[in-house]
Amino acid sequence: MSNSTKFVFVTCYLIVFSLQGITGRHPDFYLSIEKLVNKYGYPMENHEVTTEDGYILTMFRIPHGRTGTEINQKLVILVHGLYGQAEHFITNAMHNGSLAFLLADNGYDVWLMNSRGTQHGRKHIRLDPNESKFWNFSWHEIAMYDLPAKIDYMLQKTKKSKLHYIGHSQGGTIFYVLSAMKPEYQKKIQLASLLSPAGYGGHIQFPLFQYFGRHFDEIMRMVEKYNIYEFPNLGNSPSELLLNTCIDSVFSSFCLLVMRNFNGIVTPNVDLEMLPLILRFIPTAAMKQSLHYLQGVISGRFRQWDYGNSQKNIEAYGTPEPPEYNVESISVPVSIYYGLSDLQVTEKDLKLMCQSLQNCVSLHPMKDSKWSHYDYLLSNVAGEQFNVPLLRSMQKYDDD
């Protein structure tokens, strides 16, 4: 088949496929997170937490389930991933798959974290989010400032001494960093349940990551030249652009193809009706967050930010290379869940992390061979295949 024939074939396919694109918006789309939570019969509170370095971040709290009136006694924090925020633990309610709701109905006082840079983390006591200084952070700073501020606030507010930790993707990264860098917080966590946690990245074979790795120096020069500090730099959120492009437009079929084929974002178990709601709650992030992950893919090591030359690293750390995170010092019980079709984290890297931890109590591959990076949040079978088994695992540690 000639290239011109292939072009015609693909073009015709896209035109026909556009008739089956992403169309319409579920009624939940028009609701704020407060109204969304209330619609399903749950209470919600807003709490603002100020970090040591001045970021003002909003947390959402679901203190009890639908049938309760008293605050639940078991405490849990749900921590989102890169380009995620609190709403992504709620949106699957249309399939009875909201992890936050299940936990609230089973005796947990549920707190939903939003990190700096999300739609609920764009305030600072001095800095403006339109300034590059606001975005001079990676997941290292989220772990060192945002997460401990949230944990301390929760424990002080509830007068508890421990909590359950659930982290998706970057939520696992910052658990590792906090536990290694501030070991006193290990005593405050009963069990860390990590969903495709990003840590070691040396075995990632995803072609896009490998391409960026080969051109990392060029990317860094471009970032510095054009002062790319927020990505994508579209104001408060890329969600409006994504919605206008992908919903009820001529490009809807293209968006669907990308979502189905790029990194397993959309798997067979994801209901396309939910995608507008997911797109609405996608925030921007600091460019440095993605670059820090890319450094780990290149080096195969889990360590602090590399400034690019030995002199700058010596000035920052006292050593020519950035320090490794001492994950061997982490004694918190850790359960790791992962999908066999996940292209963002690999089984080899997760096994390496599990071997490094002192108390990796389980390394749990999902039974569905097509389970991917976002199915914990998006899959229409997440409730039965993931949420319920996770709940049972957590309950074993409630008395500890």
Structure tokens at 9: 């074939």
The question of whether 373 is a catalytic residue gets the answer yes
What is the spatial distance between Cα 361 and Cα 103, in angstroms, rounded to a whole number?
21
What is the spatial distance between Cα 265 and Cα 387, in angstroms, rounded to a whole number?
19
Structure tokens at 115: 């990190």
Cα distance between the two ends of the chain: 65
The question of whether 120 is a catalytic residue gets the answer no
Instruction: Select which of 98, 115, 169, 253 is catalytic.
Output: 169
What is the spatial distance between Cα 155 and Cα 159, in angstroms, rounded to a whole number?
5
How many other CB atoms are found less than 10 A from the CB of residue 254? Answer: 16
Angle at the Cα of 333 from the Cα atoms of 327 and 334, rounded to 5 degrees: 65
Q: Quick one: DSSP state of residue 25?
A: -
Residue 10, helix vs strand vs coil: helix
What is the spatial distance between Cα 398 and Cα 382, in angstroms, rounded to a whole number?
23
Supply the DSSP string of 338-400, one letter for each residue.
E-TT-SSS-HHHHHHHHHHSS-EEEEEE-SSTT--TTHHHHBTTHIIIIIHHHHHHHHTTTT-
Closest CA to 174 of 366, 396, 330: 330
The question of whether 249 is a catalytic residue gets the answer no
Q: Quick one: DSSP state of residue 117?
A: T
Pairing label, strands 360-365, 45-50:
unpaired
- Which residues share a beta bridge with 192? 165, 334
Instruction: Select which of 28, 105, 146, 342 is catalytic.
Output: 342
What is the spatial distance between Cα 21 and Cα 103, in angstroms, rounded to a whole number?
34
Instruction: Select which of 105, 372, 373, 379 is catalytic.
Output: 373
- 191 contact partners, CB below 8 Å, separation of at least 6: 164, 165, 332, 333, 334, 335, 361, 393, 394, 397, 400
Positions annotated as catalytic residues are 169, 342, 373
